[in-house]
Each structure stands twice: as structure tokens, then as C-alpha cells.
Amino acid sequence: MAIILHADLDAFFASCEQVREPSLDGRPVVVCIYSGRGSDGGAVSTASYAAREHGIHAGMPISQAKEMADDEFAFVEADHDFYREVSDRVQGLVQEHADEVEAASIDEAYARLDVDGYTDARDVAAALKEEIREAEGLTASVGIGPNKLVAKIASDREKPDGLTVVEPDAVQEFLDPLDVGELHGVGPKTRERLADMSVETVRELRAVAAQRLVRTFGESRGMSLHRKARGEGSTELEERERKQLSKITTLETDAGAMRELRPVVRDLAGQVMDRVAARGWRYSRAAIIVVTPDRETRTRSTSFKSATMDRDRFSRAVEDLLQAFLDEHDGDIRRVGVRAGGFAKGGQRSLGDF
Ligand code: TTP
Ligand code: MG
């Protein structure tokens, strides 16, 4: 049984600006992409939720947004490099909870959760939201469901700062009342043609015979609509270029001694090395991630001169990093993880592989 999580940051670019400049916090913020034509040429990239209350939204001409704004508003120019850095760190937090992650866009990710059921999945989502809040000061909306289609719609339901879990037997009830336009991949044109057939909700779409959809939209799109109306979607994540691979676990009981932690870290190191090897990669960075009982996340990392597939070197490196951390840290830890990074593809094997 696959359990898929979808996380999408709230008003992402605007929220980044508010974190960087706390005086903007709570104010309506409009992030602008200037075209260079005239002082207000260009479009709104995104608006904070306070600004959206005035009707301002992504894609709107900046000049129009300015007409709708009052003195309280802040208009800022988009800074993609800054958002990319924040995005990479948030994607790293998502990776710590899952074997497989798809970084679907700058502010959203799918993850396949390695959990026994939906109760555990909800706990993972709550922990992830908290980590993102603590580490970056951002809120994320998270959806959980049996596939990507359902998880993505779920993450959008209770924005901002939402957490929506849709278990398999609740999928139909969840989707039925929604507008067909909420189904990923149903754009304005398809929506219009469905409206011509008096189909506006998912429930109405589900009642249309597959043959009729195929006649109207062709085999592939028709069948795709038929499946979407039933909440059937893909569970295959598309892995983009990875910058790092990690595995983190919650200890059965909080612990602070190397004697207790060594077997856990060795096991995690082995799992991460399996994943690196499965891709035919070599690594050149090793790191540990530690979460303290008060939920603070710390990392320690080390780099190697060359990239190798040497499993033992990785295991020794993360053990040394953990030992160094424990030497300085007074108290127990709650979660521990290891991370490999700095990948190179294929190529020479080092002696350590044999
Ligand atoms: P979204 O996730 O679509 O929007 P958002 O994060 O601002 O708001 P929401 O809370 O509804 O998720 O897009 C992520 C970022 O991508 C957004 O912050 C800015 C950028 N973006 C644009 O530059 N232009 C656009 O038209 C859209 C939709 C987004
Ligand atoms: Mg978003």
C-alpha cells in the first residue's frame, strides 16, 4: 500500500520575503517580476494571504495590483536565488522522512512515506510541518493520500498551514463534491467542454460513461478523466537530480551514548549506501542529522577530496561525526539520521568497494 505525501509551501516567495525582513510580517506583500518596461511593467509573482484578501493574485499586472493596494502594502522584487536556497533546504527536510521524493516545483514535493498506516503518516506530516516552521519560519500545507492525484488535491484543501489526510475508503467522498477543475491536468478548456456536457463536479464526471468521454476527448484523455474521477492516480515519483540522499529515524527511547547509537547509525549508513549504489553513484560528502528532544535539528558534515563508492568510509565518517557531536552535546537525542551528498555518476570504483 503506497502512502503519498504532497507538501506545498504557503505563499512561498512572499513568505520568504517576510522571513528575511520581519517588518513585513503580517503586512500585505506582493512579489513582483518586473519586465523592465516602464516603472510598473510586469506581473505579480505571488501575493501574501493578506494581499490576496484585496483580490491580488499571481499573474496580475503590477500596475493593476498597485491600484488595488493601500499604504500598508509592500511591493518587492522577486529574488529567485534566495527562494532557491530556501527551497533546497526545505526539500532536504522532506527527504529526511522518505525514501523517495519528487521535487515537483520550487515549493512543492511528493514523498512516498515509509510508514505502516495513515495514523503514522499524519504524524510524519505534522512533524515535517513543524520542522519547516522551526528551520525556515515558513508554513506548508500538506496532503496525504493513496496516490499523487489525491495527495495534491488534499494539500490544497486547507491552505494555508493545512494538513488533510484522505484514506483510501474516503477518496470518493472527498473528491465527489469538488469542481472538475481541481483535478490535476484538467485545465480551463477541458473544464469548459465538460460544462457543455453539464458536468461540473467530480461526482457528475464519474457518472459519465467511459465511452462517452473517449468519444469526446479521445482514448487517452477520455480514459484519464474516467480514472481521475475515481481518484485513481500514479504512485510513481519522478526523481529529479538529487543533491543528497538521507535516511533518518526516531529512536525507540531518547539516547545519548555512542554505544546505543552506533548500531542505529551503521544501519542507516548501510541503507543510504544501498541507495547510492543502486543509482551507480559515488559520494563525496557525509553528514549526520540529529534532532534533540526539544525538536531542534542539528547537522554535522564532512567532505572528501574524491567521490567514491566506499561504504566503510561513509560508515566511519558518520560515526566520527556523531561521536564529535556527542562530545560537545550535553543530553540525549531523539532522532538521528545520516546523509550522503556531492554525487558523481558511475565511473571508477575505489579499492574500498572490493
Ligand atoms: P504556488 O505554490 O502556486 O503559489 P504560492 O506558494 O505563492 O501560494 P499557495 O499558498 O497558494 O501555494 O507557487 C509557488 C511560487 O511560484 C510562488 O510563491 C511564486 C511562483 N509563481 C510565480 O512566479 N508565478 C505564478 O503564476 C505562480 C502560480 C507561482
Ligand atoms: Mg505554494
Q: Which residue bears the cell 505534522? A: 126
- Work out which ligand 1 atom sits closest to the CA atom of 78: 23
Mean pLDDT to the nearest integer, 129-138: 96
**Which pLDDT score, from 0 to 100, does residue 109 have?**
96
Lowest mean pLDDT among 145-149, 250-254, 320-324, 345-349: 345-349
Residue 9 Cα to ligand 2 midpoint, Å, equals 4
Higher pLDDT, 248 or 22: 22
Q: What is the pLDDT of residues 279-325, one digit of tens each?
A: 899 999 999 999 888 877 788 999 998 999 999 999 999 999 999 99
Q: If pLDDT is split at 50, 70 and 90, which confidence band does 226 have?
A: very high
Question: What is the C-alpha separation between 206 and 308, in angstroms, rounded?
Answer: 53
Q: If pLDDT is split at 50, 70 and 90, which confidence band does 354 have?
A: very low
Asked whether 95 and 299 are in contact (CB, 8 A), the reply is no
Contacts of 61 (CB under 8 A, 6+ apart): 40, 42, 43, 44
Question: What is the C-alpha separation between 158 and 127, in angstroms, rounded?
Answer: 17
Tell me, using a 6 A CB cutoff, whether residue 59 lines ligand 1: yes
Question: Largest alpha-carbon pair distance within the chain?
Answer: 69
Query: What is the value of pTM for the model shown?
Result: 0.75
Question: What is the C-alpha separation between 171 and 260, in angstroms, rounded?
Answer: 42
Mean pLDDT to the nearest integer, 187-191: 93
Q: What is the mean pLDDT of the chain?
A: 92
**Which pLDDT score, from 0 to 100, does residue 242 have?**
67
Q: What is the pLDDT of residues 39-65, one digit of tens each?
A: 898 999 999 999 999 999 999 999 999
Q: What is the pLDDT of residues 252-278, one digit of tens each?
A: 899 999 999 999 999 999 999 999 998
Q: What is the pLDDT of residues 91-113, one digit of tens each?
A: 989 988 887 889 899 999 999 99
**Which pLDDT score, from 0 to 100, does residue 39 have?**
87
Known catalytic residues?
108
Tell me, using a 6 A CB cutoff, whether residue 45 lines ligand 1: yes
Contacts of 66 (CB under 8 A, 6+ apart): 40, 75
To the nearest 10 degrees (0 to 180), the angle between helices 12-20 and 80-95 is 100
Left, alpha or beta for 70 (phi > 0: left; psi -120 to 50: alpha)?
beta
Asked whether 197 and 216 are in contact (CB, 8 A), the reply is yes
Q: Which of 46, 62, 184 to mutate to test the pocket of ligand 1 (most atoms within 8 A of CB)?
A: 46
DSSP helix/strand/coil, 158: coil
Mean pLDDT to the nearest integer, 155-159: 97
